[in-house]
Structure 1
Amino acid sequence: MGEGQGFQLGTVGALSLSVISSVSIVICNKALISTLGFTFATTLTSWHLLVTFCSLHVALWMKLFEHKPFDSRAVMGFGVLNGISIGLLNLSLGFNSVGFYQMTKLAIIPCTVLLETLFFSKQFSKKVRFALTILLLGVGIATVTDLQLNLMGSILSLFAIITTCVAQIMTNTIQKKFKVSSTQLLYQSCPYQALILFIVGPFLDALLTNQNVFAFKYTPQVLVFIILSCLISVSVNFSTFLVIGKTSPVTYQVLGHLKTCLVLAFGYVLLHDPFSWRNILGILIAVVGMVLYSYFCTRDAQPKPIESSTQFSQSNESENDPLISVENGTNVSNESSPQKPAVWNSDKDLHA
């Protein structure tokens, strides 16, 4: 009906698009890597970004969105950082056990919360932090199995966590600071991300797989799945920027763990992957954490009524007193100061 309702519908649409496209590309890539033996993840990601840029360029030519240039150094730094974070995550997976890699992904949420609290003075209520703890516990039970530590893998994971958190926070802050849409930011940063991964991808893949991406036998079936993966990636990349811009990096990470649970469930149903009661218990706990997170965030986003003083004069001026003016983006209230509503305008964590 109003602007707020339109914003919420847009956010729900962005979240739904992100979930559907991400689960689809995981299933497609799993078939490509596990069944067809194409294990060159970093190079494949560079192709994803290249196809995304070409698709957006066509959309720009068709005037589906407006090109809005802004600080070129910010765009270049952001694009390079995003490319580095993807490469570090792939290296972390290559040098660590699957269980430790899952712990690395889980650590992104508390690290993001810490960085936003320290550098952006963003406040997360105790109930929101409790919900995030439940979520991380559930995902940990469902996905973390073996934890094999090694020095190189731990260092790579640490850098992967930091660069990923900073890149996702920048995705949100750049859109707000320069007043650009997710499409405009993605269009301008894609070439830098693609270039970084296109250059380092074959070397990283050779290091991790002991195979040469250029010597791989590209059968028609492999080519079909590569093309399908690249087409789906356009939606994945677009929805990632859209979700972070409309909500926040923390909400995007929460959504990412929902995708993990859905991938586990779809893998069991469609691909007959091994599944245990531990997986089921972990997924159920994670879902409870996600529901609590959405509930607490939505409740904290509501402006709290404040009793106005009626003892200033004998007139009825209190009826016209403008008590609170809270933007749609407000998400976490300041519990320590009940005299006024959420003072800071957050990054919209709470419309998830």
Structure 2
Amino acid sequence: MGEISGFQLGVLGALFLSVASSVSIVICNKALMSNLGFPFATTLTSWHLMVTYCTLHVAQRLNFFENKPIDMKTVMLFGILNGVSIGFLNLSLGFNSIGFYQMTKLAIIPFTVLLETVFLKKQFSQKIKLSLLLLLLGVGIASITDLQLNFLGTILSLLAIVTTCVGQILTNTIQKRLNVSSTQLLYQSAPFQAAILFVSGPPVDQFLTKQNVFSHNYTPIVLGFIILSCLIAVSVNFSTFLVIGKTSPVTYQVLGHLKTCLVLAFGYTLLHDPFTERNILGILIAIVGMGLYSYFCTNENKKKQLGELPVGPQIKDKDTTPLLAVKTMGHQDKESAEVKKSSKDSLV
């Protein structure tokens, strides 16, 4: 029991860290991009990853964690895939309307469920599927404003969905199969993610914003917010790998939509952004969906522990750790439609 409680406590800490850091970086990036006129999301993400790697390198040298070697080919492909997914998400944000971009993010959950069902032979109960559907409905009502389609934007969105889903599934799978921690995997892969974005970021940002990141006027306050964003990003990147490793890609996506609802709420209370009855209704529906997802996952885990469910290819305990696992709860890079309104935030 003590071991289970310790695991659940670790999950709760990872979830809280992910939510707190992600909401913080969205607010910081919103101020940086909309108020201070620094719209270079992809390049900023490459800086986030470089700072994350440097921080982890110092931590490793101080023996805070052991550097466990991982097959270089696996790490390189994994890092490049994650970097490419961030680039596609940024391009999708640039070529699509707010509503279609939000639909892209919503599509990640059902596509992840599909991939895990087909390729990993995992099974999701009808109750869990219905709770996820309710969650997606709520987030859609709260955040989707329009659905303007265009061919190039649709292709980019499909590529973003596929690469993001595969990257997040691999984050979970690699940690379990190679028996490495989230810190070790992030430390090994961050340089490759940073490199692909450092090379592609400036041209992508110039194409989207018609501005050159290297000729921008870097005032002290802009530099201050960039440094703050990079420091928060260390926590965001670490917590993303931690949450996916301890739970599952689906749970991480559920958590991501909780962040979207929180960003909408914070935008209204702290930044006085427009907030309608539709936003409130959508957030309430999404919260009900998240609560049901947690409840059903908890019940299924208890039944498995008591031997009431067949051993078959069900979702493993860690893979169904609910969003509100420890007696309820009370991740690139580019988090909510609210930030899109104020110029493209960084998907970390």
TM > 0.5: yes
Change (3 A) 1:98 1:339: closer
Hey, what's the Cα distance between the residues in 2 that align with 1:7 and 1:129? Answer: 25
Which residue of 2 is the match for residue 273 of structure 1? 273
Which residue of 1 is the match for residue 209 of structure 2? 209
Change (3 A) 1:305 1:21: closer
2:106 is aligned with 1:135: no
- Tell me which structure has the larger Cα radius of gyration: 1
Which residue of 2 is the match for residue 24 of structure 1? 24
Which residue of 2 is the match for residue 72 of structure 1? 72
Cα displacement (A) at 1:348 = 2.0
Hey, what's the Cα distance between the residues in 1 that align with 2:305 and 2:286? Answer: 33
Which residue of 1 is the match for residue 346 of structure 2? none
Cα displacement (A) at 1:71 = 1.1
Hey, what's the Cα distance between the residues in 2 that align with 1:95 and 1:221? Answer: 30
Hey, what's the Cα distance between the residues in 2 that align with 1:290 and 1:197? Answer: 33
Which residue of 1 is the match for residue 238 of structure 2? 238
Instruction: In structure 1, give the amino acid aligned to 2:320.
Output: D
SS at match of 1:303: helix
Change (3 A) 1:180 1:221: same
Per-residue CA distance 1:153-204 (angstroms, 9 max, x = gap): 0000000000000000000000001000000000000000000000000000
Which residue of 2 is the match for residue 350 of structure 1? 321
Change (3 A) 1:305 1:67: closer
Hey, what's the Cα distance between the residues in 1 that align with 2:198 and 2:192? Answer: 10
Instruction: In structure 1, give the amino acid aligned to 2:170.
Output: M
SS at match of 1:348: helix
1:46-195 equivalence runs, <5 A: 46-195=46-195
Hey, what's the Cα distance between the residues in 1 that align with 2:80 and 2:109? Answer: 22
Cα displacement (A) at 1:351 = 3.5
Change (3 A) 1:129 1:81: same
Q: Is the 8 A contact 1:186 1:241 kept in 2?
A: yes
Per-residue CA distance 1:213-241 (angstroms, 9 max, x = gap): 00100001100000000000000000000
Which residue of 1 is the match for residue 339 of structure 2? none
Which residue of 1 is the match for residue 284 of structure 2? 284
Cα displacement (A) at 1:70 = 1.5
SS at match of 1:218: coil
Change (3 A) 1:10 1:217: same
Change (3 A) 1:339 1:29: closer
Change (3 A) 1:62 1:94: same
* TM-score, normalised relative to structure 2: 0.91
% identical equivalent positions: 71
Hey, what's the Cα distance between the residues in 1 that align with 2:23 and 2:232? Answer: 10
Instruction: In structure 2, give the amino acid aligned to 1:29.
Output: N
Instruction: In structure 2, give the amino acid aligned to 1:224.
Output: G
Q: Is the 8 A contact 1:183 1:238 kept in 2?
A: yes
RMSD: 1.3
Question: What is the aligned length?
Answer: 322
Change (3 A) 1:145 1:69: same
Cα displacement (A) at 1:341 = 4.7
Unaligned runs of 5+ in 2: 324-348
1:245-264 equivalence runs, <5 A: 245-264=245-264
2:191 is aligned with 1:221: no
Hey, what's the Cα distance between the residues in 2 that align with 1:4 and 1:30? Answer: 39
Which residue of 1 is the match for residue 310 of structure 2? 340
